[in-house]
């Protein structure tokens, strides 16, 4: 694989603060590359230097072998999709108009744009007829970000930048959208640069992961490499904290604390049901969550509905709030030993 | 209430016309203000300091009292629509500029970043993203401006721009509260209606807003073109001051001119404004002529020499002096009519008969009379002070507001009051204006005032208007004012009836 984006000795200085210091990094064509770090690590600044929203103070960045500044700025940006944390679908345009923005600027013929919009909507799991003419405000957060991703990739840019795209979403939508990104990446094979502060998300998505701290690149490697050979104690701790926290485990692993339910009784969609409907025994009334959801992501859901149905490969089970507390108590006992 | 309804029925033609003028003026001002303020606010977006300066400037402009703005504009752009339009635009700038600037400035930076990252051009970003997002705030500003404009536009009546202010002012001048009320109510309702319309616009999509604006602009353009094409070539514009008397006179002018030459198009602008506006309107060719008084010319419009002033004070005819001084300004005054519309000492007809009083000298013989005088009249040398000196008049004077004095003398609480010699109330309350036998009061005779060059170009018109020279007595004018003010007849019909009766106008076959 050739290098798609290459940073060499890139520094970005804001007033009296060095956001990125002497960064050397190569992102390969077709890989899903994750920049991970705490806030202030310089990961977002690094991302925004790729589509020139931020200009480096010194150093060079190449795109497909050519210096970034050699490109016409607007054409460069048409070739680099962008997904924002705030989603930022334009509220005055319909879903269809939002998706069609870049194809229209690229002067695609009308029929081709329309076709791309409809196909795109289907590819992210939304019915074109239902969604095309709706306004973004009529959509849930998860649906909005699906459109956000579609808007970025509809013109088939070779590179897509994603800036903490799922951090504002509920856990369920986040997992679903992570799956969507993995699926789209596998199918379309574009280069994705993905920024997150969540090590779990990084491990789940990244072909390779770059860990940053205070403007410095600490380590680049596959999830396995980082897990097995962290470059220093910060990386080790960052990685371990994500793994070790009792709240970061996938809820599937709480199966021993739950009560198994039959596959046929899966409830429809997750929603904040009243206590009455989700009373013990009526498992159909409880929200359904994926087994891959972490426990920390599940907590808000649980606080709302008191118990949930977990979909897991080993069999679905019902998990109540008291069961979770029991797990945490056991875990605490374990830790203090 | 019944009074209001009756006045409404009497005035509905005028109301519709003035409402039309008001809407035309307001919408045009709003459109101009939008065209100036919105692009300015867009330009100011990346220039913080310029934006602050503009905000301050438009804020300061708005604090200038509207009448002062009109007054300051008259020497620069004359009277009528232009100064009114400029004043209205000045007031509308702040809310539109401010809201557009703030609306654009407060857009969530995420949208701006997204637009930037998608490679939108500056123009595309503005039209597709920023303006649509700021639109509700911008329309809010336009709404504020609209209400402000409709209120302020009533002042246009002061300087001949017409509109609902005309009805309000006529009501005040003629002491018909119902008319003032109707004018004010119509202005308020108009503001509410426009505000409601704009609030609907606020909820519409960006494209629909553009569509509505487009229709308004095209409508205006079409109307403007229609007016330009339809405007007749040879048109004579005659204006008159506030009140029934000038309205009757200009209708007489029109009838006489059209009798002389039926092909001439005559446009009347009754209740056009105060003396100084009309005077500058003639000088600036906004109007061709208007009826003016000799006394007004020599006291307010031109500056007579000392000797001339002395002659006027001695009771000499002021017409030759007025005419010669006007000539130096390139203006002329045609032959004056007979009646003298000046201060008058007024008593009831019954009182005059009982005491055999016809002149002020006769009145001076009486003792112990109670008089109700206007404060100004009471203190003027050509008022009560002069009466005391010249006639030795001695009255027990109570000062009162001018609109009360006629009803008070009618009630019998006073025996003497002051007024103008052609006031309709003299006829209405069966009063008598005493003869000024020692000529204390200056002479105010009415005649058409116009540019000398205009008179030279239209000899037939001058001849037609001079037929009124020496015509119309004070009693006849009182009668006609009475017919218009009290009997609610139109000034046009009163004028026509009089001319026919005097044989000045031949009935058309």
Residues linked to residue A210 through DSSP beta bridges, in sequence order: A35, A220
Q: Are residues A171 and A286 in the same domain?
A: no
Range picked from A91-95, A171-175, B154-158 for highest mean pLDDT: A91-95
Mean pLDDT, residues A131-136: 93
Q: Whole domain around residue A317: which residue ranges?
A: 248-336
- Domain end call among A204, A227, A246: A246
A153 and A278 within one domain: no
Best residue of B115, B117, B130, B136 to probe chain A, by most A CBs closer than 10 Å: B117
Percent with pLDDT over 70 in chain A: 89
B316 versus B88: the higher-pLDDT residue is B88
CA distance B290 to B237: 9
Give me the half-sphere count of Cα atoms (radius 13 Å) on the Cβ side of residue B428: 17
Whether residue B111 has pLDDT greater than 70: yes
Co-location of A96 and A231 in the same domain: yes
Q: Do the beta carbons of residue B333 and residue B449 sit within 8 Å?
A: yes
What is the rounded average pLDDT of the residues B171-187?
83
Asked if B206 lies within 8 A of A92 by C-beta distance, the reply is yes
**pLDDT confidence of residue A243:** 61
Query: Per-residue pLDDT averaged across A140-150, rounded?
Result: 93
Answer yes or no: do A28 and A130 share one domain. Answer: yes
Q: What is the predicted pLDDT for the residue at A210?
A: 95
Q: What confidence tens digit (pLDDT) does each residue in A242-288 have?
A: 666 677 777 877 877 888 876 544 443 333 333 334 334 444 578 88
| CA B480/CA B251 separation, integer angstroms | 12
Tokens 């030279």, residue?
Answer: B456
- Using a CB-CB cut-off of 8 Å, the residues of chain B touching A93 are 128, 132
* Pick from A213-227, A300-314, B337-351: least confident: A300-314
Quote the CA–CA distance of B300 and B278 in Å, as a whole number: 13
pLDDT band, residue B341 (cuts 50/70/90): confident
| Domain count along chain A | 2
Alpha helices in B329-445 (DSSP H): 349-355, 360-365, 375-379, 384-391, 402-411, 424-428
- Tell me the per-residue pLDDT of A71-118, one tens digit each, with 9 for 90 and over: 999 999 999 999 999 999 999 999 999 999 999 999 999 999 999 999
Residues A184 and A292 in one domain: no
Strand partners for A14 = A17
What pLDDT was estimated at residue B487?
A: 82
Q: Are residues A75 and A218 in the same domain?
A: yes
Q: Name the domain boundary from A196, A215, A246.
A: A246
Residues A254 and A240 reside in one and the same domain: no
Q: Give the span between the Cα atoms of A305 and A297, in whole angstroms.
A: 14
Identify the domain boundary among A190, A220, A246: A246
If pLDDT is split at 50, 70 and 90, which confidence band does B230 have? low
- Measured CA to CA, the distance from residue B183 to residue B259 in angstroms comes to 35
Residues A151 and A73 in one domain: yes
Tell me the C-alpha distance between B213 and B475, whole Å.
Answer: 56
Residues A20 and A169 in one domain: yes
Q: Do B249 and B63 touch, CB atoms closer than 8 A?
A: no
Q: Do A111 and A186 fall within a single domain?
A: yes
Query: What span, in angstroms and rounded, lies between the C-alpha atoms of A39 and B27?
Result: 53
Could you give the CA distance from residue B35 to residue A320 in angstroms, rounded to a whole number?
63
pLDDT score at B12: 79
CB contacts < 8 Å between A and B, how many? 58
One domain for residues A99 and A231: yes
Instruction: Please check whether residue B44 is in contact with residue B54, taking contact to mean a CB–CB distance below 8 angstroms.
Output: yes
Q: Which residue is closest to A53 within chain B, CA to CA?
A: B117
pLDDT of residue A266: 41
Token pair belonging to A295: 């426990």
Chain A positions in Cβ-Cβ contact with residue B120 (cut-off 8 Å): 74, 101, 105
The chain-wide mean pLDDT, for chain B, equals 85
Residue where the block lists tokens 């206007």: B374
pLDDT tens-digit map of B299-334: 778 888 888 877 777 777 788 888 888 888 888 888
Helices (H), B265-423: 275-283, 294-296, 306-313, 319-328, 349-355, 360-365, 375-379, 384-391, 402-411
| pLDDT (mean) for B77-91 | 84
CB nearest to B116's CB, from A53, A90, A102: A53
| pTM, full prediction | 0.63
Residues A183 and A277 in one domain: no
Can you give the three-state secondary structure of B422-490, one letter per residue?
Answer: CCHHHHHCCEEECECCCCCCCCCEEEEEEEHHHHHHCHHHHHHHHCCCCCCCHHHHHHHHHHHHCCCCC
Q: What is the pLDDT of residue B13?
A: 79
Residue pair A51/A24 in contact (Cβ under 8 Å)? The answer is no
**Contact (CB, 8 A) for B132 and B100:** no
Answer whether residue A209 shows pLDDT above 90: yes
pLDDT at A23: 94
**What integer pLDDT is reported at residue B165 of this predicted model?**
87
Cα B28 to the chain's mean position, in Å?
Answer: 20
Q: Average the pLDDT over B486-490 and give the result.
A: 83
* pLDDT at B294 exceeding the cut of 60: yes
pLDDT of residue A335: 54
pLDDT-above-90 percentage for chain A: 55
Structure confidence by residue, pLDDT tens digits, B232-278: 556 888 888 877 888 899 999 888 888 888 878 888 888 877 777 78
Contact A51 B117 (CB under 8 A): yes
* Range of lowest pLDDT (A23-27, B66-70, B110-114): B66-70
Q: Is A90 on the interface with B (CB under 8 A)?
A: yes
CB B140 within 8 A of CB B199: no
B137 neighbors B103 (Cβ within 8 angstroms) = yes
Q: What are the tens digits of pLDDT across the range B417-466?
A: 988 888 888 888 888 888 888 888 878 888 999 988 888 888 888 888 88
Determine the pLDDT at residue A214: 92
Closest partner residue to A84 (CB to CB) among B113, B121, B132 is B113
CATH for A26:
3.40.50.300
Check residue B207 and give its pLDDT: 73
The pLDDT value recorded for residue A163 is 95
Task: Give the separation between CA B80 and CA B87, rounded to whole angstroms.
Answer: 12
Query: For all residues of chain A together, what is the average pLDDT?
Result: 86
Q: Is the pLDDT of residue A334 over 70?
A: no
């Amino acid at each position: 694989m050739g290098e798609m984006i290459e940073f060499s000795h890139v520094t970005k200085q804001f007033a009296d603060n060095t956001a990125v210091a002497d960064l050397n990094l190569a992102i390969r064509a077709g890989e899903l590359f994750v920049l991970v770090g705490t806030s202030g690590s310089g990961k977002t600044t690094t991302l925004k230097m790729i589509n020139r929203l931020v200009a480096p103070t010194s150093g060079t960045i190449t795109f497909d072998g050519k210096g970034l500044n050699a490109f016409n700025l607007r054409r460069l940006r048409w070739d680099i999709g962008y997904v924002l944390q705030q989603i930022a679908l334009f509220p005055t345009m319909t879903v269809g108009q939002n998706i069609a923005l870049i194809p229209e600027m690229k002067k695609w013929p009308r029929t081709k744009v329309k076709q791309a919009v409809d196909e795109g909507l289907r590819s992210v799991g939304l019915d074109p007829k239902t969604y095309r003419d709706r306004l973004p405000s009529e959509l849930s957060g998860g649906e909005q970000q699906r459109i956000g991703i579609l808007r970025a990739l509809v013109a088939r840019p070779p590179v897509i930048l994603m800036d903490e795209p799922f951090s504002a979403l509920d856990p369920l939508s986040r997992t679903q959208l992570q799956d969507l990104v993995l699926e789209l990446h596998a199918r379309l094979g574009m280069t994705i640069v993905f920024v997150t502060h969540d090590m779990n998300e990084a491990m789940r998505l990244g072909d390779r992961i770059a860990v940053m701290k205070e403007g410095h690149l600490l380590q680049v490697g596959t999830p396995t490499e980082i897990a097995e050979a962290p470059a220093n104690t910060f990386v080790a701790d960052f990685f371990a904290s994500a793994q070790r926290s009792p709240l970061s485990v996938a809820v599937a692993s709480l199966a021993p604390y739950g009560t198994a339910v039959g596959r046929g009784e899966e409830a429809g969609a997750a929603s904040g049901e009243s206590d009455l409907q989700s009373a013990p025994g009526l498992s159909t009334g409880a929200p359904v969550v994926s087994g891959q959801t972490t426990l920390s992501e599940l907590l808000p859901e649980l606080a709302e509905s008191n118990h949930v149905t977990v979909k897991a490969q080993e069999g679905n089970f019902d998990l109540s709030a008291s069961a979770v507390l029991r797990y945490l108590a056991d875990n605490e006992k374990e830790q203090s030993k | 209430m019944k009074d209001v309804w009756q006045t409404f029925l009497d005035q509905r033609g005028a109301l519709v016309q003035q409402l039309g003028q008001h809407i035309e003026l307001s919408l045009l001002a709003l459109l101009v203000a939008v065209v100036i303020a919105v692009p300015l606010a867009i330009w100011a977006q990346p220039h913080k300091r310029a934006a602050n300066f503009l905000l301050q400037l438009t804020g300061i402009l708005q604090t200038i009292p509207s009448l002062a703005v009109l007054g300051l504009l008259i020497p620069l752009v004359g009277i009528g629509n232009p100064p009114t339009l400029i004043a209205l635009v000045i007031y509308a700038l702040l809310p539109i500029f401010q809201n557009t600037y703030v609306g654009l400035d407060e857009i969530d930076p995420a949208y701006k970043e997204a637009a930037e990252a998608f490679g939108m051009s500056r123009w595309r970003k503005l039209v597709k993203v920023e303006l649509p997002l700021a639109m509700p705030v911008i329309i809010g500003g336009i709404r504020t401006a609209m209400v402000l404009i409709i209120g302020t536009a009533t002042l246009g009546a002061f300087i001949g721009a017409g509109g609902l202010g005309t009805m309000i002012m006529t009501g005040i001048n003629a002491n018909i509260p119902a008319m003032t009320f109707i004018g004010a109510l119509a202005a308020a309702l108009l503001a509410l209606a426009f505000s409601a319309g704009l609030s609907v616009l606020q909820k519409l999509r960006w494209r629909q807003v553009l569509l509505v604006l487009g229709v308004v602009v095209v409508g205006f353009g079409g109307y403007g073109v229609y007016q330009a094409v339809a405007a007749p070539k040879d048109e004579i514009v005659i204006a008159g001051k506030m009140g029934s008397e000038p309205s009757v006179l200009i209708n007489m002018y029109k009838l006489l001119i059209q009798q002389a030459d039926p092909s001439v198009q005559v446009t009347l602008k009754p209740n056009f404004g105060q003396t100084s506006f009309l005077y500058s309107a003639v000088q600036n060719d906004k109007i061709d002529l208007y009826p003016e008084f000799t006394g007004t010319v020599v006291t307010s419009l031109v500056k007579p020499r000392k000797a001339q002033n002395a002659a006027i004070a001695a009771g000499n005819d002021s017409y030759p002096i007025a005419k010669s001084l006007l000539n130096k300004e390139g203006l002329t005054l045609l032959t004056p009519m007979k009646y003298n519309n000046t201060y008058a000492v007024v008593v009831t007809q019954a009182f005059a008969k009982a005491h055999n009083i016809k002149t002020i000298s006769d009145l001076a013989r009486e003792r112990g009379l109670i008089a109700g005088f206007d404060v100004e009249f009471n203190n003027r040398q050509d008022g009560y002070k002069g009466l005391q000196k010249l006639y030795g008049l001695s009255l027990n004077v109570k000062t009162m507001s001018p609109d009360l004095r006629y009803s008070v003398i009618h009630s019998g609480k006073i025996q003497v009051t002051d007024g103008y010699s052609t006031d309709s109330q003299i006829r209405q309350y069966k009063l008598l204006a005493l003869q000024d036998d020692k000529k204390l009061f200056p002479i105010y005779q009415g005649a058409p005032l116009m540019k000398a060059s205009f008179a030279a170009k239209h000899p037939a018109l001058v001849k037609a208007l001079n037929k009124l020279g020496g015509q119309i007595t004070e009693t006849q004018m009182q009668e006609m004012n009475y017919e218009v003010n009290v009997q609610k007849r139109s000034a046009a019909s009163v004028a026509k009836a009089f001319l026919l009766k005097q044989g000045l106008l031949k009935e058309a076959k």
